[in-house]
A and B are shown apart, each in its own frame.
Chain A
Amino acid sequence: MSDIQDRTRKIVVEHLGVEEDKVTENASFIDDLGADSLDTVELVMAFEEEFGIEIPDDAAETIQTFGDAVKFIKEAV
């Protein structure tokens, strides 16, 4: 399971250009990691690609933090 967390963190680090230790459980993509609304759309696409899952738009809107993303992905894979 930590594998999913690591892979998710790696995507966030690469796409948002942030330090790995900033990507904590409660880190908000927009408020803490400098993403704008387009960045979050791209992040969700990258999660879909990495894990071979589909994240519908209404679900994507609920993914605000790194923890939200990991939780959703763990349930979806």
Chain B
Amino acid sequence: MRRVVVTGLGMVSPLAAGVEETWTRLLAGQSGAGTITRFDAGHLATTYACEIPRGDGSDGTFNPDDWMEPKEQRKVDDFILYGMAAAEMAVKDSGWMPEGTEDRERTGVMIGSGIGGLQSIAETAVLIKERGARRVSPFFIPGALINLVSGQVSIRYGFKGPNHAVVTACSTGAHAIGDAARLIMLGDADVMVAGGAESPICEIGIAGFNACKALSTKRGNEPEKASRPYDADRDGFVMGEGAGVVVLEEYEHAKARGAKIYAEILGYGLSGDAYHITAPSEDGEGGERAMRNALRSAGLSGADVDYINAHGTSTMADTIELGAVERVMGDAASKATMSSTKSSIGHLLGAAGAVEAIFCILALRDQVAPPTINLDNPAVEPKLDLAPNAKREREIGVALSNSFGFGGTNASLVMGRIDR
């Protein structure tokens, strides 16, 4: 099987627009949470979220005009805007912008979303009710469809290879990277632009997840303390938004053009819980199998893993995942570090797995594990180091990222340093 490496990174997160800006703030233990400003959320059970800081583009703020022309922004839901921005960063970072027909046909896109244009769908439904079906915009459907991030990116760069989009709730970003890597391994493409994008911070999004009893509701007065994975006082996840995109490339292809290589995609594992629509199986065996499958495809064992970026959403499921990871790691658990970066950026749903894979890649590059902030009083005694409230500078040769989604859909990615 052909080897796949990562040669470009792009990200728009609640901490900042940009990979390095986000990483610096993440390592410093900052929180992206605050009272919702996008709309008046005062009547909802949850009044806070991790919103992308918008501004003129300076100091890590996100300026939509930097990434899409204003007249084009009007035609798309925010998840597409975020995905386009992250894709542009990743493609530029990789330096892969081919002009030739064959190169373009060997370059594909697979950027997914958990929900897609939720806000557009809600607004259009209201429009029909209030003003009639004739007022529906011709851009409503292409502005809300999940695969239109992949479509838009392909149109912008002329990438004519496989064009695909994953929809597996909170596992979307991880599945997209894993599936795109497999397309390269199997020879369907030489380069894939892969990741996830999500914009769920709107009234219908918050109300919907509130109804599932999934969101934190108790910390309206201190939102930055609300996302606290593994802590005894956690009470649900904090909604985030954004996009993460990577450029994946066949190893020899990347070497031949002298590309900067961040890391290698070593393994990928998938599984289904076959248990419940929103809850993970209580013994965590679904997530455990995803991790074991990923390690097996990498030819590694739990003992080889130095850093784990947990799914860790700040819900009851945290300790289920922790148990599964400890079983996979066995006696080596005490030597590994695991953190949940959702403590800082909240839960980006379909973008989470992609953003968190990028954090693993940066952890491999910089030999540092980001912290789990707000972990003041662990709910259980962990065998793993959870990096509570402080980053861990340590040797990291192999990193594993977990993503688990509603419907019982699980994905694990194993990434490693190319020189390990």
Contacts and interface: CB of A to CB of B under 8 A. Distances in A.
Contact of A15 (B69, B71, B134, B135): B71
Interface string B132-173: 001101110010000000000000000000000000000000
A17 B69 contact: yes
Contacts of B70: 17
A38 B136 CA distance: 12
Contacts of A16: 71
A42 B71 CA distance: 12
Interface string A1-44: 00000000000001111000000000000000000001001100
A38 B142 contact: yes
A53 interface: no
B139 A42 contact: yes
Interface residues of B, number: 9
Contacts of A14: 71
Contacts of B134: 45, 48
Contacts of A42: 137-139
Contact of A45 (B71, B137, B142): B137
A41 B138 contact: yes
A17 B138 contact: no
Given A42-B137, A45-B135, A17 B142 contact: no
Interface residues of A, number: 10
A45 B134 CA distance: 8
B137 A17 contact: no
Contacts of B142: 38
Contacts of A17: 69-71
Contacts of A15: 71
B100 to A, nearest CB: 26
Nearest to B69: A17
Interface in B76-105: none
A12 to B, nearest CB: 12
A41 B136 CA distance: 10
A22 B135 CA distance: 28
A38 B139 contact: yes
A51 to B, nearest CB: 15
A48 B134 CA distance: 10
Contacts of A48: 134
Contacts of A49: 135
Interface string A36-64: 00100110010011000000000000000
Nearest to A44: B138
A16 B69 CA distance: 11
Nearest to A40: B138
Contacts of A45: 134-135, 137-138
A68 to B, nearest CB: 19
Contacts of B138: 38, 41-42, 45
Nearest to A36: B138
A76 B70 CA distance: 31
A15 B69 CA distance: 12
A38 B137 CA distance: 9
A49 B69 CA distance: 24
19 contacts: A14-B71, A15-B71, A16-B71, A17-B69, A17-B70, A17-B71, A38-B138, A38-B139, A38-B142, A41-B138, A42-B137, A42-B138, A42-B139, A45-B134, A45-B135, A45-B137, A45-B138, A48-B134, A49-B135
Those 9 A-B pairs whose CB atoms lie nearest each other, nearest first: A17-B71, A41-B138, A38-B138, A42-B138, A38-B139, A42-B137, A17-B69, A42-B139, A45-B135
